[in-house]
Amino acid sequence: MSVHADPPPALVPEPNGVQYATGDQLGKGGFAICHRAERLDGDRPTGHVVALKIVRTKMEPAKLAQKFITELQIHSKLHHSNIVEFFRAFSFESSTYVVLELCDNGSLADMLKKRKYLTMPEIRRFVIQICGAVKYLHYRNIVHRDLKTGNLFLDKDMNIKVGDFGLAALLVSQNDMMGKRRTTMCGTPNYLAPEILEKGKGHNEKVDLWAIGVISYTLAVGKAPFHASSKEEIYKKLKSRCYTWPELNSTTNNISSDLRDLVSSLLVHEEERPSPDQIVSHPFFKIAFVPTQLSAARRGYSDTWY
Ligand code: ADP
């Protein structure tokens, strides 16, 4: 499936008189194309720059509608410093527009592509922020189900912003998640929790904790732990939970034994995975400092992070 990529109109009007002046393309996903845009009050610039996600309603209607409705219903109710803020959604001509908080520094996947792997202090800071967002979601009975480096965006101050709620599921019980399970198979092969592959078993919020383990490994090593050339091979490795760490040598990252221990505590049977609070209490986060600020050097992702 490819996204229809005609340039968007220079001015996109909301039904209430507010309009958006569209700018550069920020990126393209399977369902949407995203542009930088400035909110105008009538014709006056407001200085409020946003990410305008454009979904052509012509594409694959059934699939799109399902993804989009959950995305809108769930995402619009979330407010957290490490979750991309959803401002509004509206239709104009044959497209639907979603106005989102701008994440100026791309995604963790973009950062990894440039840098190959991240340092331990960077990983500490990012994982703490991801855990904050996941704790917030799980407390509200929401499972993201597609946590991966490509859905973890970075704002201008290099703070994590969890985005793309297209696969998020609301577990129905209001106050108690225990026992609630979803049965739809979804997610990205490298980040899938093994229980999602077990037919008829269903899965719950624990799949996000598995994904945090995969993300932590990927940030340190530069590729996913269950990496393989075909989906079938990935699934085989996943089912056996079999992964290895690269040999220590001058070309690989200096991966701390605490990080290895943290990852091994997460890539386990669902019942044994630590909660977000337990994750951030792990010694990996205790023995060294966590940078409170990271410098991005605007998409160059300089090696200096403080
Ligand atoms: P899809 O729902 O089709 O997967 P995404 O949500 O992944 O679409 O968005 C497509 C691309 O647009 C992303 O990979 C990213 O490059 C860019 N993007 C999405 N949301 C934002 C945002 N809030 N700020 C900056 N860029 C974004």
Evaluate: CB of 164 within 6 angstroms of ligand 1.
yes
- Ligand 1 mean position to 30 CA, how many Å? 10
The answer to whether the annotation marks 237 as part of a ligand binding site is no
More confident residue, 6 or 269: 269
**What average pLDDT does this structure show over 106-126?**
95
Nearest CA to ligand 1 atom 1: 29
DSSP characters for 25-76? EEEE-SS-EEEEEEEEETTEEEEEEEEEEEEETTS-HHHHHHHHHHHHHHHT
Evaluate: CB of 269 within 6 angstroms of ligand 1.
no
Point out the catalytic residue in the list 146, 155, 164, 208: 146
Which atom of ligand 1 lies closest to the CA of 102? 24
Q: How confident is the model at residue 217 (pLDDT cuts 50, 70, 90)?
A: very high
277 is catalytic: no
**What average pLDDT does this structure show over 143-153?**
94
Structural tokens at position 275: 């909660």
Q: Which one, of 79, 89, 99, 90, lies nearest residue 34 by Cα?
A: 99
- Rounded distance between C-alpha atoms, residue 30 and residue 28, angstroms: 7
More confident residue, 230 or 304: 230
- Rounded distance between C-alpha atoms, residue 235 and residue 192, angstroms: 9
Q: What is the ipTM of this complex?
A: 0.96
Per-residue pLDDT tens digits for 161-191: 999 887 777 765 444 455 566 656 566 778 8
Question: Apex CA 164: angle with CA 194 and CA 210, to 5°?
Answer: 25
- Ligand 1 mean position to 216 CA, how many Å? 21
Lowest mean pLDDT among 8-12, 63-67, 76-80, 142-146: 63-67
Q: What is the mean pLDDT of the chain?
A: 84
Q: How confident is the model at residue 46 (pLDDT cuts 50, 70, 90)?
A: very high
- Rounded distance between C-alpha atoms, residue 82 and residue 100, angstroms: 13
Q: Which of 3, 26, 75, 144 should be mutated for ligand 1, with most atoms under 8 A from CB?
A: 26
**What average pLDDT does this structure show over 83-107?**
92
Lowest mean pLDDT among 3-7, 24-28, 141-145, 233-237: 3-7
- Tell me the H-state helices in the chain: 61-75, 108-115, 120-139, 194-197, 206-221, 231-240, 257-266, 276-280
- Match 């598995």 to its residue by tokens: 210
Is the confidence at residue 107, as pLDDT, over 90? yes
- Rounded distance between C-alpha atoms, residue 299 and residue 158, angstroms: 10
Evaluate: CB of 103 within 6 angstroms of ligand 1.
yes
Is the confidence at residue 61, as pLDDT, over 90? no
In this prediction, residue 168 carries a pLDDT of 78
- Ligand 1 mean position to 233 CA, how many Å? 28
- Rounded distance between C-alpha atoms, residue 136 and residue 157, angstroms: 21
Is the confidence at residue 297, as pLDDT, over 60? no
- CB of 105 closer than 8 Å to CB of 297: no
In this prediction, residue 136 carries a pLDDT of 97
Q: Which of 62-76, 124-138, 229-243 has the highest mean pLDDT?
A: 124-138
Evaluate: CB of 291 within 6 angstroms of ligand 1.
no
In this prediction, residue 301 carries a pLDDT of 56
What pTM did the predictor assign? Answer: 0.87
- Match 């998409």 to its residue by tokens: 299
Q: How confident is the model at residue 117 (pLDDT cuts 50, 70, 90)?
A: very high
